[in-house]
Amino acid sequence: MTKQIINTGAAANDKSGDTLRSGANKINSNFNELYTNLGTGTALQFAIDFTISPTAGQTLQYNVATGKFQPGTAGAAGATGATGATGATGPAGATGATGASGTGSGNVNSVNGGYVDNRITRYDGTSGTNIQNSLVTISDSGAITAPNNTGSMIPFYYPNAEAFPAAANSHGALAHNHTNGKMYYAHAGLWIELANMTDVAAGATGATGATGATGATGATGPAGSSEISWSLSASGSSDYVFSGPGIVAGNTNDPILYLYRGFTYIFVNTTGGSHPLAIRVSNGGSAYTLGVSGSQTGTQTFIVPMNAPSTLYYQCTAHSGMGNVINIV
């Protein structure tokens, strides 16, 4: 664990440093690591005898009699031990990379002895020669190309349907019927007509697709204010009457207040000197002044300290029945 440093703030009481609880946790963490590494976790087991003065060349050695480390002279080095047995043979290394391809041409030799690059060729297995070259070529990447002229096209032309070959022997083949200008394909012993775009009516609108996924959460809005202001009037000499954030109808007279540590609360006492407002440690007790500033008969600000007690009171200094509990959260 990295050493925990307590943040003491930039200046005294500027509230920028660690809280008492956070600082205490850091101190405990540092001591826990020392007691764990140098002892049992709850007691130290590592001690040095500082009563013996060390001399040059000495090292710390453990004294069984005192249970402490003390300076001492190291003993002579022991003899070298025997050589250990040879370890087992390691696993075989990875297979080496494939060697470079040999040189040569992928061209096909034609009938007249020339070369036709990548061209589809009819081969005579009896004579061992190429007997005819087509104009269709296959590239090194496998792409098939036919030159754009009549002599190089793959035709599907038939004058009429009667001239089609037997569908049973042509499964998957295409055929063009010149009489009606339509295309057909052979499947399951039948020549099946392919529809033209003009023959196909528009289908019904499909069902609406599923709702898309919810978009990402938007950016977090700006932080709210940590300052709350209340205006106080009076109901005779029996109650303060509050108005402002969190005060609702039916709970305006001497309400129980809940204040958060670190937040700022402003009490605007509109009764003036008739009902001075004091923040006290108890009902009728002494004034609580930490974080309190301003005037009891005018505007009074209370910045709740982090170490404030869990319960305080607000009370009129002239009429003890006016006031109630302040719960510190």
Kindly give, in sequence order, each residue whose CB lies less than 8 Å from that of residue 6, ignoring residues fewer than 6 positions away: 17, 18, 23, 26, 27
Write out the chain's pLDDT in tens, 329 residues: 889 898 888 888 888 888 889 889 999 998 898 888 877 888 877 677 778 888 888 887 878 888 787 888 877 666 777 888 888 887 887 887 765 654 544 444 444 445 456 666 666 677 767 666 665 666 665 566 666 555 555 667 899 999 999 999 889 888 889 998 899 999 999 999 988 777 777 778 889 989 989 989 888 766 656 799 999 999 999 999 999 999 999 899 999 999 999 999 999 999 999 999 999 999 999 999 999 999 999 999 999 999 999 999 999 999 999 999 999 99
Instruction: Check: pTM over 0.85? Answer yes or no.
Output: no
Residue whose pair of structure tokens reads 């087509």 in the numeric block:
134
DSSP-assigned letters across all residues of 175-203: EEETTTTEEEEEETTEEEEPPPGGGPPPP
Q: What is residue 24's predicted lDDT score, i.e. its pLDDT?
A: 94
Ramachandran class of 325: left when φ > 0, alpha when ψ lies in -120 to 50, beta otherwise:
beta
Residue 286 has which token pair?
Answer: 């002494």
- 107 by DSSP, 3-state: which? coil
Q: What is residue 104's predicted lDDT score, i.e. its pLDDT?
A: 44
Q: What is residue 297's predicted lDDT score, i.e. its pLDDT?
A: 96
Residue 45 has which token pair?
Answer: 């087991």
Q: What is residue 102's predicted lDDT score, i.e. its pLDDT?
A: 47
Q: What is residue 25's predicted lDDT score, i.e. its pLDDT?
A: 94
Ramachandran class of 236: left when φ > 0, alpha when ψ lies in -120 to 50, beta otherwise:
left
CA atoms within 13 A on the CB side of 259: 33
Q: What is residue 139's predicted lDDT score, i.e. its pLDDT?
A: 64
Q: What is residue 107's predicted lDDT score, i.e. its pLDDT?
A: 44
DSSP-assigned letters across all residues of 212-260: PPPPPPPPPPPPPPSEEEEEEEEETTTEEEEESTT--TT--BSPPEEE-
Distance between CA atoms of residues 195 and 86, nearest Å: 80
* Strand stretches in the chain, DSSP E: 59-63, 68-72, 108-109, 115-116, 119-124, 129-138, 144-145, 157-158, 174-177, 182-187, 190-193, 227-235, 239-243, 257-259, 264-269, 277-280, 292-294, 299-303, 311-316, 323-328
CA atoms within 13 A on the CB side of 310: 0
